Structure 1
C-alpha cells in the first residue's frame, strides 16, 4: 500500500468541482465571503478542499483584495494577469511547499492536538488555540497579502472556544478568510453557522471512490478493492483508514461471527476480540468498532427496506446473513442493539475499559436480541 497524502500535501481534488467553482466564482467576482463552513460526511475531501482554497488565496489573493478599488483596478502601465480557471496550485510552487510543510506564516490551522501527557489526542479544541490565532490577526499579514484560518473539526470546539471564534466572525480582520471544516455542523453554534457561507459536500460517487482507491492502493486485489468500495460508503478517507486498519480482513472475520448468531460461536468471537483488543492495535480497534456498528446498521436498513430494495446495497456474502438476522427480531430491537453498543464503545474510549470484554459484550448483545 502506498502512503496517502495528507490534505495539506494533496494537490488534487476529485468529485467536488461544483464547490470549487463556487469559491472561484466569488473570488473572480470580488465578493469573497470572509467565512466558509465546509461540511459533509467524514473522509470525502473537506480538508483537502480547504487547503486548496488556502493555497489559492495565498498565491492569488490580490484580486479580491482590490475589490474596493473601483474602476481603476489597474494602473496604466499594468497588464492584467490571466484569471485562473481552477484552484490548482502546482506542487513545485514555493507556496504549495510551504503550506505542505506548515511553514507559511499567513496560514493558521486550529485543530485538536495531543493531551498534556502526549499520549492521547485532545477530545476538544480549547479556547487557548483560538486566542493564539486571534492575537496574530491583530498584526499585519507577514507577507502583505491574505491570511487564512482553517478550523479543522469546528464541532470539536468547547463553548469558550466557540464564543471566542464568534467574536472573530463578528469583527472579521481585514484580508482574512476563515475556513471551518465539520462533519457535524449541527453541533456548531447557530450564531457561528449564520455568519458563514455554507458549502455542503456530498458523498463521492462510487466510480470516483473506486478510481481513488485504485490510485492510492494499487496493490490491493480486485475483490478487496470492491469490499473497500462497499464498506467505505462514498468516503475515500474511510476507505484508506479501513485499508490501514486491516478492514477487509476484519470485515470477513466479523461476518463469520454474525453468521453464527444467535448461537454465538465463542471461539470465533474470542479470536476476533483478541485480534482487535491489543493496546498496540488502536487502528484495528477503531476499524472493528466502526464495522460492528455498521453491521447492526445494515441489519436495521435491511429490515426496513421497501420491496426488498433500499438503495444501500450489500455485498453478496452479506445478504444471506442479513436475511437471517433481520428475521430474528423486530427492527426496533436491532435499533436498541445499535444504540447500546455505540454507548458501550464510547464508554470504552472515555473510561479506558478492557477492549476485549467490551467487544465480547457487544457481540453478546447482538446474540441476545432474539
Structure 2
C-alpha cells in the first residue's frame, strides 16, 4: 500500500500541475510528500445524488478495501468529514444536515497557499485547521516553526492534531475562534483563511505585518462568494482585489446566519421587477446582490427568489408575472430589499456584468468597502 499511496500522490500532483492548480515546485513537492489518507480519519461522508434533500452516508475506512480508501483520498474532491458537529466516524448512519468540516479538494488548497504568496521563512497563520491536510502542506513548505493553525471545533482539532503528529508535523495548533487570530504568534507574514467571512475582523488584521497579506473568501447569507487577497498597509488598513476563479468555503461559525424557525411570507407592496430575479443564481450576480443586502438570507431559486432580512424582518419575494414576460416583486418591512438589489445589479450590468475579480476591497479603521472597478468607483459597505 505504501508504493500505491506514493504513486497516487505523484499522480495527483501531476494532475494539479496540468490544470494549473499548482505551479510552484515548492507546493507541488508538498502535495507529493503529504499522505492525504492520514487526514481523512476513519470515515468520511458521501452525499446522495439529487433531487431531494442531501443525505450524507458515512463511509468507514475499515469497511472498504485499502486500495479503495486510497483512491478516495487522492481524488481531487472535497470530502465532508463532519455534519452538524458529528464526525463521520461517530455517525450512527446516514444523516441530513449541514457540513461543518471537510477535507477541501487538494487543488484548491494548493492554489490558496500559492495565491497567498507564502514562501520559505514566512510566518503563516491558518484559520481553519480542518482535517490538518492544508496545515501539513504548509509545514512541508515552510517548516513547523513557521506555521500556526486555529480550529474552532474541538473534535476536529483533536483529530487534526493526531493526524499531524502521526505524519511527523508539530506546528502550533490552537483550538479556538480563528476570527480572533492568535496574538501570541504575531506578527504574521501571511494569513490564510479556509473558512469564509462576512467582513474582516479588525483585530485579526492588526496581527499581520505591514506589507503582509490576508487571503480570505468573502461570503454572506445570500451564498455569494469572492476570494480576495489583501495587503496590509502602515496605517492600520488593507486593500486588494478579488481573484479570478470560483472559490467557496463554509462560513465561519461566528459569522453564520442566526437560526430561525418556520416563517410566514406576509403580504406587501407589489410592483414589476426591473431585473430578472434569476440573476441571483449567477455566481457574480449573487455576489453583487449580497453586497446590497448583507443582512438578508436568500431562499428560493430562479424567478422565485425570497429574501428575509435578519436585522429588521423585512421581506421580498419575486415571481414571474402572470400577464407578461416580466417579473413581479412583493416587499414589506422598513428595508426595501429588492430596491437595493436592483440598484446594485443594474450598476454591475452597466459595467458589463463582470466577474468579481473586477471588484476590490478597502479596509480602514473606520469602514470596509467593496468597490467596482477602482477604489473611487461604486461601492458597498460590509456589515461590521
Fold shared, TM-score > 0.5 on shorter chain: no
Give 1 or 2: higher helix fraction. 1
- The structure showing larger relative contact order (alpha-carbon pairs under 8 Å, at least 6 residues apart) is 1
TM-score by length of 2: 0.31
Give 1 or 2: higher strand fraction. 2
Which protein shows a greater Rg?
1
